[in-house]
């Protein structure tokens, strides 16, 4: 189980090299609380400041519903389906 703090540490390390895109595969995520949601938003903003793009893939229906309810879906880049080349 990856916690929000662990995710933040890993993404922050990746962002030190300022890649054009950081893709998070959320296919195995079965739970996400307010701390996890906040972490995704903060990491998305950090990526933007690093001129990177944080992309969420394989976002499950439950998480999509949570993002809709909280109004965060529009704040995050979500690419379900075929990954971009």
How would DSSP label each residue in the chain?
Answer: ---HHHHHHHHHHHHTT--SEEEEE-TT-----HHHHHHHHHHHHHHHHTT-EEEEES--HHHHHHHHHHT-GGGSEE--SSPP-
User: What does the alpha-carbon distance between residue 54 and residue 76 come to, in Å, rounded to a whole number?
Assistant: 8
What pLDDT score was predicted for residue 1?
A: 59
Domain locations along the chain: 1-78
In the chain, which residues have pLDDT < 50?
A: 83-85
Tokens for 85? 């080349």
What pLDDT score was predicted for residue 70?
A: 94
Instruction: Kindly report the pTM of this predicted structure.
Output: 0.85
pLDDT, tens digit, 9 for 90 and up, residues 33-56: 999 999 999 999 999 999 999 999
What pLDDT score was predicted for residue 84?
A: 47
CATH of span 1-78: 3.30.750.24
């Amino acid at each position: 189980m990856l916690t929000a703090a662990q995710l933040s540490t890993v993404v922050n390390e990746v962002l030190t090299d300022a890649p054009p895109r950081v893709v998070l595969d959320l296919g195995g995520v079965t739970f996400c609380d307010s701390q996890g949601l906040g972490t995704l938003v903060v990491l998305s903003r950090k990526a933007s400041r690093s001129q990177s793009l944080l992309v969420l893939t394989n976002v499950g229906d439950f998480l999509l519903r949570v993002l809709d309810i909280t109004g965060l879906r529009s704040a995050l880049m979500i690419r379900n389906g075929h990954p971009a080349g």
